[in-house]
Amino acid sequence: MTIDYEQLKHLVQEAMFTGGGINEPSAPEDVPHRMPAADVTAVEGDERMNELYYMALDAREATERLIEKLDDPIFDDPYSDAFIATSALRRVLNRLEEDGAKPAPEDRVVSPPAWMQKYNAAGLDGAGGGASTAAAAVSGIPGPPLQLEEEAEEDTTGLAGAEERAKKTGTGRQTKTSQVSAIRGAAKDISQGKELVNVDDKERQMITQLDSIFKTVADAEGVDLSVYRNEIKTFLQKIIRQATAQAGRT
Per residue in 201-219, pLDDT (tens digit) is 898 899 899 989 988 988 8
Residues above pLDDT 90, as percent of the chain: 4
Task: List own/partner pairs for 155-162 with CB under 8 A and 24 or more apart.
Answer: 159/240, 159/243, 159/244, 159/247, 160/244, 162/240
Write out the E strands in the chain: 44-45, 101-102
Res. 55 pLDDT band, cuts 50 70 90: very high
CA dist 240 and 234 (Å) reads 10
CA dist 111 and 215 (Å) reads 35
Report the pLDDT averaged over residues 29-56: 68
CA dist 208 and 227 (Å) reads 23
Q: How many helices and strands (H and E) does the chain possess? A: 8, 2
**Residue 46 and residue 101 in contact, taking contact as beta carbons nearer than 8 Å:** yes
User: What pLDDT sits at residue 150?
Assistant: 41
User: What pLDDT sits at residue 148?
Assistant: 42
pLDDT at 56 over 50: yes
Q: What is the mean pLDDT of the chain?
A: 74
> What's the whole-model pTM score?
0.39
pLDDT at 155 over 80: no
Between 178 and 34, where is the model more confident? 178
**If you ran DSSP here, which 8-state letter would residue 110 be given?**
S
User: What pLDDT sits at residue 35?
Assistant: 53
CA dist 180 and 184 (Å) reads 6
pLDDT at 137 over 80: no
CA dist 41 and 196 (Å) reads 46
pLDDT at 133 over 50: no
CA-CA distances (angstroms) from residue 59 to 11, 49, 50, 54?
62, 15, 14, 9
128 backbone dihedrals φ, ψ, rounded to 5°: -105, 45
SS3 (DSSP) at 30 = coil
CA dist 60 and 66 (Å) reads 10
**Highest-scoring range by mean pLDDT, 78-92, 116-130, 134-148:** 78-92
| pLDDT (tens digit per residue) in 15-24 | 776 655 555 5
**Residue 46 and residue 54 in contact, taking contact as beta carbons nearer than 8 Å:** no
Between 115 and 188, where is the model more confident? 188
User: What pLDDT sits at residue 132?
Assistant: 45
